[in-house]
Structure 1
Amino acid sequence: MVDFINPEMTEIAALLKQVKRIAVVGLSPKAKRPSHQVAVSLQQFGYQVVPVRPAVDEVLGETAYPSLDEVPGAIDLVDVFRAPEHVMPIVEKCIELKVPAIWLQDGVVNQEAAQRAVEAGITVVMDRCIYRDYLTLFPDE
C-alpha cells in the first residue's frame, strides 16, 4: 500500500473556500476540548457546524445528531475528532452518503481508511488541524 499524501495547500485552500456545512464527528460539549474550540472557530469563520455526537442534544447552539446517518441535508465536509481505530466506519458512512470531503484532525491517522476514501473519490486531509490551516491560508479573514 502506498502511503497517503495530503492534497497540496492550494487544493486545501480551494476546499475550505467551497465548503459551507461541516459535520464535526466527536464534537465535545466541553469548552476546553480541542473539538469544541475548533468548532467555535469554524462557526466564526462562517461555516455551519453540525455536531455529530451520541447522547447530546445540542452543542454550540446547533442540534446534535447521534450519527452521520441522521444528519438532514447535504454535508460538504466531515471533520473527524475520533481515535484512528474508529475512522474506517466513518469513511464507509461518508462513501454511502456521498460526502465529498473528510478531514482527519491532528493525530487521527488511519492510512487504510484514508486510501479507501480516496479510492471512492473523496477528498481527504489527514493529521492536520483545519483551524490552523484556515489561519495559515486566510490570515486576513
Structure 2
Amino acid sequence: MTALEEIDVPEVREGVDRETIETVHAMSGKYKYGWDTEIEMDFAPKGLNEDIVRLISAKNGEPEWMLEWRLTAYRRWLQMQEPRWAMLNYPDIDYQDIYYYASPKSMEGKPKSLDEVDPKLLATYAKLGIPLKEQML
C-alpha cells in the first residue's frame, strides 16, 4: 500500500498530481502555532455589515475619512467573488459566522503603565513575540 492509499484524501479536482497531495498531507496535522488565551474579551457581534464596519472604526477612534475608506472597501468586497483557482474543494466560508472585532476587557480605561496591565495579556504578547516597547502603545 502506498502512502497515498493510506491517506484519507478529501475530494480533489482533476489535474492535481500525487506529489501535491502527498506534500499537503505531510504538512497537515496540528497547527504548531495554535494556542489560545484565557483573557476576558469584548467582542462585536458575529458577522460583517456596514454597522460592524462603523463599530470597528468608532472603537479605533478613526477619523471620518478612514470610515468612508473602510465602507468603500466593504462595498467593493460585497461585489467580489471568491477565487476558485487552487484546484481544491473546501466548504464555503461563512463570513457571517466570524468575529471581526475583539479587544481585551482589561484594556478598557487604558492602563497608564505595564504594571496595570493584566499579566495574562502580557503573557499573550510575549507568546506572540511582541517587544515590550510595542506593548506600551
TM-score (structure 2 length as normaliser): 0.23
Structure with the larger strand share = 1
Give the TM-score, by structure 1 length.
Answer: 0.23
Q: Which has the higher contact order (CA 8 A, sep 6+)?
A: 2
Determine which structure has more spread, i.e. the larger CA radius of gyration: 2
More helix by share: 2
